[in-house]
Amino acid sequence: MVRITFWHRHQRILEKSGYLLRAKYRKGYDPADGDLDENKATHPRAAIMDAVRISDGSHVILKTVSFRDHPDEVNLCILFSEKLARDPRNHCVQILEVLRSPLDPDIHIIVMPQLRRFDDLPFDTVGEFVDAFRQIFEGVEFMHKHRIAHGDLTLQNLMLDASDLFPSGFHPVNTRRDLTFHHYAKYITRTECWPRYYVIDLGMSRRYSKHKAPCEISTPVSFPFVHLLPERKGAVSRLFNPFPVDVFHLGHILRKEFHVYEHRPLAFLRPLVDSMLSEDAALRPTMSEVVQTFGELCRGLSPSHLQLPGSPGIDTLCHRVRQKLRAFKHIPPIPYSEFAPKPPLIDAKLRPYYTSLY
C-alpha cells in the first residue's frame, strides 16, 4: 500500500520527469510558512496526488499502480489512450504518461488530466443529466465492445472534464475552493459548455477471451459492492458474468443516487432502470441495448421537459430565471442531434456472451 511518504520520497524524481508537486511535498518545506487550510489539504487516497506539468503549467493527477495487485490496469490504460484514443465513443480517461518508480519496481505512476467527479455539481436541467449519462453509457458500451468489463462502476469513477465548467480552475483536493484555497471556485452551468465525461480507474477491469463466455468468482475482495448483486444471493462466492454486473451498477447509481423513482422529471427512465436491475442477470440488457433504449426514451422528450431541473431540490427562482434566459437566447437544451439513432456497437447475436455464463 502506498503511503503519503511515497510522494515526499519521489518529489525530486517527479520534478526531473516534468511534474511539480505542491509546496508542502517539497524538501525543506516549513508548515509554519504555509496556509493552514492548504497544509491540511490531503487526498483521501494516498495513491492519488496532484501536480503541475512544468512544460505547460497544466494541472494533472498522478496515481500509483501496483503491478502485483493490478497487473492489467496500465496495459488497459495504454490501450484506451493510444490504439483506441481517436474513437469519439471512447470515454476512458486518456493517460498522458506512465512513469516507473526507481525506488520500487512494482510501482507505476500514471499521469492523467485533472478531472472532477461528474456529480459534484447538481444537474441544472434534465438535458444536462441525459447528456452526462449518454456519454457514460456510450463509454461503457465501448469498453464492452472490446470485451472489457469495468468491474467497479461507482460514482467515484465517473468524472468530467471541468476545464470549461470552472474557467478559473479549482483546488485539486477541496474542489469547492479556487486554486488559492481562499475563495469559492466560480463555475458556469453545463449547458453553457457541454463538458465531456469520462470513466476512470481500470484497476478492477478485465479483458476476456472472445472464444468463451466470461466468468468471475464473486467475492467482496475481488469485486467491490458485489453484495448488491442479486445473482450472489448471500453466497460466499458464486460464478457470474462480469458484463451484466456493470449494467447493474449503472442502474443502481440511477436508482439510488439520482432518485429516478422519486424525482418526477427523470421518471421516464424507470422502465430502463427496472431492466438494468433485473434479478436475473441474463435478462438485463447489454450495454448496446441500454444505449438504444436510452436514446429512444430521450428522443421522446420535449424541449420544455429537457429544461426541467435535472437534480432534486434546485427548482428555485434562480433556476426558473435561467430557464427563461436560455429560452430567450434560443440555447438548445441538449447538444444538437445528440440522440440521433446510431447502429449498436454490440451485435445482437453476441447477447449470450454478454449476459450468460455458458
pLDDT digits (tens, 9 = 90+) for 216-239: 765 444 455 566 777 766 555 567
Say how many C-beta atoms besides its own lie within 10 A of residue 281's C-beta. Answer: 20
The pLDDT value recorded for residue 221 is: 42
Q: With beta carbons less than 8 A apart as the criterion, state whether 263 and 129 touch.
A: no
Q: With beta carbons less than 8 A apart as the criterion, state whether 61 and 49 touch.
A: yes
Q: What percent of the chain clears pLDDT 90, i.e. is strictly above it?
A: 69
Instruction: Find the mean pLDDT for residues 152-176.
Output: 94
SS3 62: strand
What are the residues facing 63 on neighbouring strands? 48, 110
Say how many C-beta atoms besides its own lie within 10 A of residue 357's C-beta. Answer: 14
Instruction: Find the mean pLDDT for residues 174-184.
Output: 89
- Among 87, 38, 43, CA closest to 62: 43
The pLDDT value recorded for residue 97 is: 96
pTM of the model: 0.92
Q: What percent of the chain clears pLDDT 70, i.e. is strictly above it?
A: 92
| Long-range residue pairs from 284-287, CB within 8 A, at least 24 positions apart, any chain | 284/244, 284/247, 284/248, 284/355, 285/247, 286/144, 286/243, 286/247, 286/346, 286/350, 286/351, 286/354, 286/355, 287/137, 287/140, 287/141, 287/144, 287/243, 287/246, 287/247, 287/345, 287/346, 287/354
CA distance 179 to 67: 33
- Among 276, 266, 251, CA closest to 297: 266
The pLDDT value recorded for residue 330 is: 80
- Say if residue 324's pLDDT is above 90: no
